[in-house]
């Protein structure tokens, strides 16, 4: 059964935007890079809920329902245990909460690697049940055939090369990639391979800046950096990281707020008022009308 439905605006806290903006499309994102250059960098953030999507939507070109939700939402040690059902549930919520941004959903580990046919079965389900505009999958040259297979069948694909979290066990950790000439050449080759296969854009994560610039200049599709370079065609961060929801964040994250401290303070004040019975007040209780 599809998880998409229309919100009841009379009863739901998550009321849709009164005047929806026109949603961006894959061709519109592709056109932002013209003759190898992107005048206005693309903005992408992660989103996992309808309300989060509503808040971020006016400011972003793309919203990514990342498999990072395994750690951010579910407290898992890595992204490897994330399931297709998880991604579909959160993807549908983000689509419902947004009107402007292009919404992409991560393909979780194990849902696409076996064959192009397996990838199509998973991706088509994601597209049908969420209403998203495309999917993102990790891997370079090894995934080129799969990307071409999906693209030829109407499924837009954002590729992901460099540091690929789903391959953390094979990579031996989350350290920056591209330090050696051999790895530099491999990642550059991966980027070219996915672009030639038909990916409409790619995420380039956790690489040396020189390599990030080389990748951006060597492919015609938009390159979205995360721990890469300001010279990429756009940037993405995990929203909770840049909002300061966690004590530990990667080096490449800039904290724009400390929301965890705000929540902690509000919860402490609420707890104190409950315990001294100063909440609820007259403003929060019901009495017969006079």
Strands 157-162 and 201-205: parallel
Whole-number Å distance between alpha carbons of 244 and 258: 4
Whole-number Å distance between alpha carbons of 229 and 223: 10
Please calculate the CA angle 114-120-123 and round it to the nearest 5 degrees. 105
Q: Which of 213, 208, 24 is nearest to 104 (CA)?
A: 24
User: DSSP labels for 242-285?
Assistant: HTT-SS---TTPPPS--HHHHHHHHHHHHHHHHHTT--S-GGGS
Please calculate the CA angle 176-179-183 and round it to the nearest 5 degrees. 100
End-to-end CA distance of the chain: 50
The residues, any chain, with a CB within 8 Å of residue 16's CB and separated by 6 or more, are 7, 9, 54, 96, 97, 99
- Residue ranges with strand state E in 28-185: 33-34, 37-38, 42-46, 62-65, 102-106, 134-138, 157-162
Q: Which of 40, 205, 257, 282 is catalytic?
A: 205
> By three-state DSSP, how is residue 103 classified?
strand
Per the annotation, the verdict on 210 as an active-site residue is no
How many Cα atoms within 13 Å fall on the side-chain side of residue 119? 29
Positions at the binding site for 3-methyl-2-oxobutanoate: 67-68, 106, 136
Q: Which residues are catalytic?
A: 205
């Amino acid at each position: 059964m599809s998880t998409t439905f229309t919100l009841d605006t009379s009863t739901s806290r998550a009321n849709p935007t009164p005047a929806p903006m026109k949603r961006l499309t894959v061709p519109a994102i592709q056109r932002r890079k013209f003759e190898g250059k992107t005048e206005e960098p693309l903005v992408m953030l992660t989103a996992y809920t309808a309300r989060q999507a509503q808040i971020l939507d006016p400011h972003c070109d793309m919203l990514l329902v990342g498999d990072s939700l395994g750690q951010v939402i579910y407290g898992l040690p890595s992204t490897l245990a994330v399931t297709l059902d998880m991604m579909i549930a959160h993807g549908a919520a983000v689509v419902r909460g947004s009107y402007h941004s292009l919404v992409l959903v991560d393909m979780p580990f194990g849902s696409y690697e076996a064959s192009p046919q397996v990838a199509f079965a998973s991706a088509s389900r994601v597209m049908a049940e969420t209403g998203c505009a495309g999917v993102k999958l990790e891997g370079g040259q090894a995934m080129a055939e799969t990307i071409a297979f999906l693209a030829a069948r109407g499924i837009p694909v954002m590729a992901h090369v460099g540091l690929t979290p789903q391959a953390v066990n094979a990579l031996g950790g989350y350290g920056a990639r591209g330090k050696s000439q051999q790895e530099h050449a491999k990642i550059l080759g991966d980027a070219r391979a996915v672009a030639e296969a038909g990916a409409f854009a790619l995420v380039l994560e956790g690489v040396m800046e020189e390599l990030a610039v080389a990748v951006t200049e060597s492919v015609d599709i938009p390159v979205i950096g995360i721990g890469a370079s300001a010279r990429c065609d756009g940037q993405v961060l995990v929203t909770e990281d840049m909002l300061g929801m966690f004590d530990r964040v990667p080096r490449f994250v800039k904290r724009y707020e400390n929301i965890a401290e705000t929540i902690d303070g509000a919860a402490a004040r609420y707890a104190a008022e409950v315990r001294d019975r100063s909440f609820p007040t007259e403003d929060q209780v019901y009495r017969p009308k006079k």
